[in-house]
Amino acid sequence: MGMKENLPHVFRPLQVGALHLSHRVVMAPLTRMRAAQPGDVPWSLNAEYYGQRASQGGLLISEASQISDQGKGYPSTPGIYSPEQVTGWKLVTKAVHAKGGYIFLQLWHVGRSSHSSLHRNGGLPVAPSALPLKGKVLTSQWKQVPFETPRALALEELPGLVEDYRNAAANAKAAGFDGVELHSANGYLLDQFLEDSSNRRTDAYGGPIENRARLLMEVMDAVVDVWGKDRVGVRLSPYGIFNDMGDSDPVALFTYVLQKLGERGIAYVHLIEPRASNAGGGGGASVQGAPSAAEVFRNVFAGVLLSAGGYSAQTAEDAIAKGLADAVAFGRYFISNPDLPERLRIGAELNPYDRSTFYGGAEKGYTDYPALVKV
């Protein structure tokens, strides 16, 4: 048994939609910018990385993967819209399944958080409204330049956008994934529609909360149509400030969103805690005085709740024991500890992570972190 008794709640099984998890240590979606070029194609190195982190009955959530060329926001992030990408992802899902693990693909459209150099036709990034982000963006040549002012999506473009998500979901199924997670957090496109700081539309997709939530619900329904509700999750960041986000009434907005998602009976909702509100930005900034997202919204959503953001073994155990979360997603420590669930189970020391190798590069800081037992 080892020291399993120390984290009894973390190592209890859990039913998540169609999946029967043997433990509650989930790998969070982590952008690593190591897809093969040209074409943003997953390859053997990515398969090795995910295979290392798979465990019997454990759930991994893939790095965010753009649903279309237009959805891309960083160099060398993988896509899920070309035949080559589907073939590449098959290597990843096969490696995870060989270890008895599960893997969901995170579906991504970055919206305004992009640069025209990243798009094949050089088109401007798109958004609900033509409001630029502050700060810098990485170009296709890995140069930092100021964000461009995005182009506001026309009403007649939105059905095509929903179809891009539907096609990406179908591609994820063809690639052998166990389900998909919609990325509706961290100031990317679906989040940009939700929050009133980035959505100034005056049509059916702007203004009142139900209008701002419309696109997320249409996308969710399209993806559920492909996968079934018990193999779809969604990630939200109610108090996120990364990518200049914010809403005038986050509790009302996300209460509505979570109620509507609950009615759909999806596999899980994945909430990012305010202490990790800058997640993805490399910084540790958090919203001062913001409450725990899990505490505020736990009772609003009827289904399985994953919580992410700066957890330790003990705080994960406490959150699950108190019923604030059903499972906890770990990010940085899953980067540096391929066998993180086992280390937590026996109380082993954790490898420190190296921030300088998080994004881009090859094996270093990716597949070369040691496991306790070489497998």
Q: Residue 283 pLDDT > 50, yes or no?
A: no
Q: Place 275 in a pLDDT band, splitting at 50, 70 and 90.
A: confident
User: Six-digit token pair at 219?
Assistant: 């996308």
The predicted structure's pLDDT at residue 285: 39
Domains of the chain: which residue ranges? 4-357
Summarize pLDDT for 116-166 with one digit per residue, the tens.
999 998 999 999 999 999 999 999 999 999 999 999 999 999 999 999 999
CB 336 within 8 A of CB 9: no
**Dist. CA 93–CA 87, nearest whole Å:** 10
Least confident of 2-16, 66-80, 217-231, 266-280: 266-280
Q: Are strands 179-184 and 151-152 parallel, antiparallel or unpaired?
A: unpaired
CB 80 within 8 A of CB 65: yes
DSSP annotation of 79 reads: B
DSSP annotation of 41 reads: B
Summarize pLDDT for 206-257 with one digit per residue, the tens.
999 999 999 999 999 999 999 999 999 999 999 888 888 999 999 999 999 9
Positions annotated as catalytic residues are 188
**Fold of the 4-357 domain:** TIM Barrel (3.20.20)
pTM of the model: 0.95
CB 326 within 8 A of CB 332: no
Torsion-angle region of 273 (φ positive above 0: left; ψ -120 to 50: alpha; else: beta): beta
